[in-house]
Amino acid sequence: MNINQSKEKFPQPETLLKRLTFYSIMDVIMNAGAEYDGSVYHCNTDWNAGVSLFTIDDGGGDHFHVLFLQDGCIIKGFGHESDLSPYNYEDDETYPEYRFYENCPHEFYELLDDEALERDLLTFCAWRANDDANWQAQTISAPADWSDGSADFLEYVSDLEEYASWLNMYHETEIHTETLRDLYN
């Protein structure tokens, strides 16, 4: 699955913000006092003058940055095993130049200039301005059946029931979905 198919399944920005905030808080709680910080979700609500940054890092090479600003939201994703990853090309092969940011609003794009966000290390990008009815992404010239990591992103921002299954598996615990729903609400 690639961004052209998966962007239709991305949550509304308000829902995405609420989920990422809650999932980040749960990560802090679940990792409190742990010898190893296994946090996957990271949140900085005051990252850059009115911009909130959420990072999802699976610890295995995939990472996603989600920035919320007054004018909308941008998602920059990197799936290291994706067909679009530059790491999947041999030294003698030419990595195709994908124009992931073409048509992205300038005010969104310039936020990615921070060195920590590794602007050029990506396999998909999507954005949504407040006046957009849907998520936007640049159509790229890659085979339609190539994955770009956006389906993995969807798993990390899934609804509460799916998140509860992931949380219990990841932390080897048993927290009931109803308890999480009460906390979430």
pTM above 0.85, yes or no: yes
- Of all residues in the chain, the percent with pLDDT exceeding 90 is 75
95, pLDDT greater than 70: no
φ/ψ (deg, to 5) at 129: -75, 155
Q: What is the pLDDT of residue 139?
A: 84
Are the C-beta atoms of residues 51 and 69 closer than 8 Å to each other? yes
pLDDT digits (tens, 9 = 90+) for 139-177: 887 887 889 999 999 999 999 999 999 999 999 999 999
**Which residues in 120-156 are b (16+ Cβ under 10 Å) and which e?**
eebbbbbbbbeeeeebbbbebebeeeebbbbbbbbeb
Residue 177 forms beta bridges with which residues? none
